[in-house]
Amino acid sequence: MLSPYRVLDLTDESGLLCGQILADLGADVIQIEPPEGSSARRIGPYRNENEGPEASLFWAAYTRNKRGITLDPGLESDREVLLRLVAGADFLIESGHPGQMAELGLAYEDLVRIQPGLIYVSITAFGQTGPKAKWCTSDLTQVAASGFAYLSGDARSAPTRICVPQAHAHAGSDAAIGALIAHMERLRSGRGQHVDVSAQQSMTLSNMFRTLDEAVGMPRAERLAGGLQAGGIVIPIRHRTRDGWVTLGPAVMPSTGHFMRRLLTWVAEEGFCDADLAEQDWGTFGIRLGAGVLPPDTYDPVERVLDEFFATKTHAELLQAAIERKLLIAPVFRIDEIVDSDQLAERDFAVAIGSEGRTADRYPGPFAKFSRTPLAYRRAPPRLDEHTAELRSEAMRKPAPLRNFPPTAALGSQSSLPLTGVKILDLFWVIAGPTATRVLADHGATVVRVESSKHLDTLRVSPPWQFGQPHPEGAAGFQSANANKLGITIDLGTEEGRAIVLDLARWADVVTESFAPGVMKARGLDYPVLREIKPDLIMISSCIMGQTGPWRNFTGFGRLAASLAGFQPLASWPGQPPAGPFGAYTDAIASRYNALAILAALEHRERTGEGQYIDQSQTEAALHYLAPAFLDWTVNGHLTDAMGNADDESFPHGMYPAAGEDCWVAIAARSDEEWRSLCEVIERQDLVNKRHARAEVEAALSDWTRAHTADEVEAALQARRIPAHAALDTPGLFSDPQLRHRGHFIEIPHDIYPTTTIESSRVQLSRSAARKPERALTLGRDNHKVLEELLGYSDERIASLEQQGVLR
């Protein structure tokens, strides 16, 4: 899809995924390293546990499909080569600390003089400007700054990170989205621009909108592994099985209560409870329990029944039952269980990549299946300076010629929203889909979001709520996921409702949907049908397991996909039950890949006139964020174990208690120099030569942090260039000066409250700022606008649809 374009990738471990995504989409990506090699080559795991520049599986995980060259911008001859490459490039990605590229004379302002159409992407911990922009950071401190660490783990333990680094992946995938959005604008204006991505801000998407707690008056979200909270009462969702653990989805809400009924029906069939237990009103159970309508111990008998029942079942039995009975449960898999599963084997997910003199290794496969332009893995990760001869000797390349996008726009005209003219029929729901189309709507796409008051979107019944009161119009997460969209309510179970969807598909460039596989076909709305009425249509289907394979009918949310994809054991403590990352974690990952798939397909359609069908599996996409652990298994046969906050590369490395209730600060000493500075700050120089005495060091550091607030610890350590950051809770996020600086919180009018607050777009473009939403999206707000202005329906026809109950 991106084969006409060239990308220069100057990133280290903080940004490699961005370039790999563009490479997987077909771009010619050139990885530019310093002469000694990228620092990412010195990050484990390592092939056969042998360290060396060609042995890092972290490097291999994020550099396939790229060519490689080493250059030193301080050498005149190398600088000439670099600037020649810039003159012919379409994109450049960098992850230096703010100001570093300017010191080298390679800032956006410098290079745009050489290539005015250059899309220049910067990936940093906090963004290019702001009070924390130049803070010293690590993956641990970035996760702490995002609020995600505070929410992850067990309430009785410290906040917990996923032990495979994640912040870089969230930032890298957002950076790829930003690059493609800027590219769409370039097709109109002929001009490049600067894309600024903050890892802290990117990772906040994983908080399931609880970042908004303080803004909307919701009590602070708490860390609670293995359970859900309803008004301070814990509903357990984690149970032992014969061979591990199982986790339950949120099956006590209006949109999900039928899943609990199915589960308890099965439990009753096997004699563990009476059948009448299943017939309770599980759809309102959580609300009634939280509101005090039910006694606090109402769920206790259910917990005991499920403990006894699940203890008799294996992972395989539970997965099969989840598929056949459509249950909201998932076994907690290790990564080998998903990598070697029948599901991924049937979908040919793992891809063997090798080259001359190298053994072919199995890598995570395409993040989505494209019907016309399947992703191809063309190259193994580059050896150090592998392609220097061909790149140094090649003729001067010209940037790819630009086309008019959309066709009505005047090339070279004043910059406008990049996706103006793109029309999307949005049948996505909950988080993974709607947050993808939100980004596109922010940047100009006309998105028509279809929902129904008969079957409320789960986000409408999920916290945070305005003033902490459950109400479908006061769900801040729904508003944040669907800002800048037009909203219409349609009963899709009626023939008239189906006819409206067909008309909207005829109007649209893109149709999105995230129903269970087979639902769209049963309604006569699948891709072959829609392609008949719109031959160049792009359609994406996104679900937990994809549209094919023996597990395709597995039903669930991102919490269950995180269990199947192997994340749960990786955000846990040794010897403890799997805690797992907070919430529907893989929704935040699939969101990025949904947006990327749509943008790449739009670029391809503009160039060729071809639409296509995209099959996106949330679980497969999520495995790219675990690519080093994936390779550690497929190459070394080694499973990454639960580590808590420990790290193979750094020590000390953890969450340490600060003064105050449940206050924590993340600290990471990556080098001997940082370790010596840390000992000086805590006035324990006697420990300088005892770094190996981990228990003694941990105790001494904890004693020091307990005597100071998190802010005081941050200030003292940042002054010595040691990575440190408070593990922000949700009120801390709302008051964080860096998020404030980036305009992360946006207050918008609401027809009921009368205002609410949403999160901003996480990608910042220098010339194409995201638009601010006009007002909150209430149910059916734009029924008349969509039907009359977009589809040309008469007032009489609209009135008839209303009278028939179709528009609800």
Given this model, what pLDDT does residue 452 score? 96
Q: Kindly state the percentage of the chain with pLDDT values over 90.
A: 92
Alpha carbon distance 472, 15 (integer Å): 38
Average pLDDT, the chain: 95
* Residue 565: burial class (beta carbons within 10 Å; 0-12, 13-18, 19+): buried
For tokens 């391809």, the residue is 604
| DSSP one-letter string for 577-622 | ----SSSSHHHHHHHHHHHHHHHHHHHHHHHH---EEEEEEHHHHH
CA distances from 1 to 241, 420, 574, 768 (A): 45, 21, 44, 23
Q: pLDDT class for 230, splitting at 50, 70, 90?
A: confident
**pLDDT top residue among 661 and 254:** 661
Contacts of 733 (CB under 8 A, 6+ apart): 146, 147, 204, 207, 211, 214, 739
Query: What is the arithmetic mean of pLDDT over 434-454?
Result: 97
pLDDT one-digit tens code per residue, 111-157: 999 999 999 999 999 999 999 999 999 999 999 999 999 999 998 89
Q: pLDDT class for 404, splitting at 50, 70, 90?
A: low
Q: pLDDT class for 49, splitting at 50, 70, 90?
A: confident
Q: Does the pLDDT of residue 290 top 90, yes or no? A: no
Q: Is the dihedral of CA 390, 391, 396, 402 positive or negative?
A: positive
Alpha carbon distance 40, 432 (integer Å): 29
pLDDT one-digit tens code per residue, 167-207: 999 999 999 999 999 999 999 899 999 999 999 999 999 99
Mean pLDDT is lowest, of 24-28, 253-257, 535-539, for 253-257
Alpha carbon distance 112, 110 (integer Å): 6
Alpha carbon distance 20, 602 (integer Å): 19
Q: pLDDT class for 558, splitting at 50, 70, 90?
A: confident
Under DSSP, is residue 313 helix (H, G, I), strand (E, B) or coil? coil
Alpha carbon distance 560, 245 (integer Å): 12
Q: Does the pLDDT of residue 241 top 90, yes or no? A: yes
Alpha carbon distance 250, 234 (integer Å): 12
Given this model, what pLDDT does residue 770 score? 96
pLDDT one-digit tens code per residue, 562-589: 999 999 999 999 999 999 999 999 999 9
Query: What is the arithmetic mean of pLDDT over 605-630?
Result: 97
Give the residue from 616, 639, 470 showing the smallest Cα distance to 545: 616
Q: Kindly state the percentage of the chain with pLDDT values over 70.
A: 98
Q: Does the pLDDT of residue 288 top 70, yes or no? A: yes
Given this model, what pLDDT does residue 237 score? 93
Q: pLDDT class for 412, splitting at 50, 70, 90?
A: very low
Q: Does the pLDDT of residue 62 top 60, yes or no? A: yes
Q: Does the pLDDT of residue 414 top 70, yes or no? A: no
Give the residue from 112, 111, 131 showing the smallest Cα distance to 198: 131
CA distances from 682 to 261, 661, 669, 676 (A): 56, 22, 13, 10
For tokens 């690519």, the residue is 627
For tokens 């800048």, the residue is 484
Given this model, what pLDDT does residue 406 score? 52
Query: What is the arithmetic mean of pLDDT over 743-747?
Result: 98
Q: pLDDT class for 301, splitting at 50, 70, 90?
A: very high
Mean pLDDT is lowest, of 84-88, 154-158, 240-244, 342-346, for 154-158
Q: Does the pLDDT of residue 357 top 80, yes or no? A: no
Alpha carbon distance 726, 665 (integer Å): 4
Q: pLDDT class for 98, splitting at 50, 70, 90?
A: very high
**pLDDT top residue among 349 and 227:** 349
Q: Does the pLDDT of residue 410 top 60, yes or no? A: no
Q: pLDDT class for 291, splitting at 50, 70, 90?
A: confident
Given this model, what pLDDT does residue 578 score? 94
Q: Does the pLDDT of residue 411 top 90, yes or no? A: no
Q: What is the dihedral of CA 406, 411, 416, 417, to 10 degrees?
A: 30
Mean pLDDT is lowest, of 17-21, 97-101, 401-405, 781-785, for 401-405
Query: What is the arithmetic mean of pLDDT over 153-166?
Result: 94
Residue 75 CB neighbour total at 10 angstroms? 12
Alpha carbon distance 235, 229 (integer Å): 6
Query: What is the arithmetic mean of pLDDT over 604-623?
Result: 97
Given this model, what pLDDT does residue 165 score? 97
Contact, 590 vs 540, CB < 8 A? no
Q: Does the pLDDT of residue 1 top 60, yes or no? A: yes
Q: Does the pLDDT of residue 403 top 80, yes or no? A: no
Query: What is the arithmetic mean of pLDDT over 766-770?
Result: 95
Q: Does the pLDDT of residue 408 top 80, yes or no? A: no
